[in-house]
Structure 1
């Protein structure tokens, strides 16, 4: 298969500047979380993963995403980070080509280096307003990325627009189980800390997201609560953060402001994860 070549169209939006700044400054720190730069939580499967080996669970999440897409041809990773999920797919499934989009210059430049020789390319674009033509892709995925846009209507409508008829969107992300106004004091505190630390506009409520998908035109909507599958990887957060800080101190390296925000966000993710009455982690699969 020939190597993929496309000309990126750079898009800049003021509303996304905080997200871009976070990942331009703090992405390299994610190596403490995953050697493969999987910038998401993992999926625990008793038969195929080790709960003490974080990367085995992170890559199992990637596998679960591709299993649900069940696609061949050209895919789009909407909010691809450093291309960890892309690289997993391109390595495991030889008949795929994947385009990823990110707001971060650092992620685009360094991620494309990691994808060298594979049929993948990362472009600097806003997943709410891409330059792709209608009906371009054989599948789209969004792994803990749409939360940065507040799980907005624009994100799902844009994914619908660029998908070919009959193809799937798969989203893996955290959502609220109730409206923000209904959260308890502790839930509200954790929610605000999580959003501030990770530059999230907001988290959508899962019930409203299901309605939004249907209104957008998606069919065969399947929503899976995988919170218990994700929990073992969430429990790695304090150990990973402790190791990261210890390494920085040992090397005499200062913690960058964005790194500190990122670490705070990770801690609030752990605190949010234990409040299963307020927060849940879901895989959503739907078809255009």
Structure 2
């Protein structure tokens, strides 16, 4: 049996590699910088800039790109965000959510990323979409935010909290930068248990290594962590039924592009990180369909 160790980088790295927060931040930035065009070509587009899973409502079926945008709307509604409120997108990618809420609701939004390339791309996309006056980007670790206390009304973490080695460090900082009455929203993958057999652990390592993620929190423990760090009125919703179509779509994309990647790898045209990104597309499906991983949205108020 293999045991997931909380608050530790569980990835399997090259022999004699010393794990550290600095290495993880470097690996995370490198992964997203390497795979930027892969995301734009195979997953999102220049309008939604969405690096996340979509939200598929059975009552109103969506196409893939519509589902990606619908996830932004879900978080906005669940968190009860008002247009006049200032939002921090902690782990913003290239600014898709920031730009979306600025364009659709007029919110002022700040995107925080560990990648200077992502911040550069985000600023260009915000200017291209006409919201550069409402959206700005900072390069920093969201476990050590460069903001004054009580600077924001909402902290938004869409598939980004997983990159914190200690999720509590992120929640502590989120609480600090929120104004009284402010809300945090976390939408992410969560492990359903801590013990795994060899086959399960093999697929987990593919995902952790491929996406440069140190660990996932245990689903049943996250509400307690929110409360431990001062949040109240905590809510949790399991989004697996509404996410499964995206999980299946990612598997389909990975299989569709697999022959091209095999040939590109043989010709030396693809990096290890780019190849690993597509391998994750297959393994993530295994984790979700075997019920090793859940997909949930949590909210809490300061």
TM-score of the aligned structures, taking structure 1 as reference length: 0.88
The residue that corresponds to 1:28 in the other structure is 37
The residue that corresponds to 1:235 in the other structure is 248
Partner deviation per Cα, 1:133-190 (whole Å, 9 max, x = no partner): 00100111101111112452101111111011111100110001122xx234433222
Q: Distance in 2 between matches of 1:129 and 1:15?
A: 14
Q: 2:298 aligns with which of 281, 284, 287?
A: 284
Partner deviation per Cα, 1:88-129 (whole Å, 9 max, x = no partner): 2112112x1000111112211111100113111121111110
5+ residue gaps in structure 2?
A: 1-20
Q: Are 1:76 and 2:85 matched, yes or no? A: no
Q: Distance in 2 between matches of 1:173 and 1:127?
A: 16
Q: Distance in 2 between matches of 1:149 and 1:264?
A: 22
Q: Distance in 2 between matches of 1:114 and 1:164?
A: 28
Q: Distance in 1 between matches of 2:229 and 2:54?
A: 29
RMSD over equivalenced CA pairs, Å? 2.0
Asked if the contact 1:76–1:100 (Cα under 8 Å) also holds between the matched residues in 2, the reply is yes
1:89-128 correspondence to structure 2 within 5 Å: 89-94=101-106, 96-116=107-127, 117-118=130-131, 119-128=134-143
TM-score of the aligned structures, taking structure 2 as reference length: 0.84
Asked if the contact 2:234–2:299 (Cα under 8 Å) also holds between the matched residues in 1, the reply is yes
Deviation at 1:244, TM superposition (A): 4.3
Q: 1:200 aligns with which of 186, 205, 213?
A: 213
Deviation at 1:269, TM superposition (A): 1.1
Q: Classify 1:82/1:226 alpha carbon distance in 2 versus 1 (closer, same or farther; 3 Å).
A: same
Asked if the contact 1:151–1:203 (Cα under 8 Å) also holds between the matched residues in 2, the reply is no
Q: Secondary structure at the match of 1:55?
A: helix
5+ residue gaps in structure 1?
A: 1-11
The residue that corresponds to 2:281 in the other structure is 266
Q: Distance in 2 between matches of 1:143 and 1:124?
A: 17
Deviation at 1:246, TM superposition (A): 6.2
Deviates more, 1:255-264 or 1:217-226: 255-264
The residue that corresponds to 1:187 in the other structure is 200
The residue that corresponds to 1:133 in the other structure is 148
Q: 2:269 aligns with which of 242, 254, 272?
A: 254
Deviation at 1:242, TM superposition (A): 4.0
Asked if the contact 2:258–2:278 (Cα under 8 Å) also holds between the matched residues in 1, the reply is no
Q: Secondary structure at the match of 1:81?
A: coil
The residue that corresponds to 2:72 in the other structure is 62
Deviation at 1:47, TM superposition (A): 3.1
Q: Secondary structure at the match of 1:141?
A: strand
Q: Distance in 2 between matches of 1:84 and 1:140?
A: 15
Q: Distance in 2 between matches of 1:161 and 1:224?
A: 25
What is the total number of aligned residue pairs between the two structures? 270
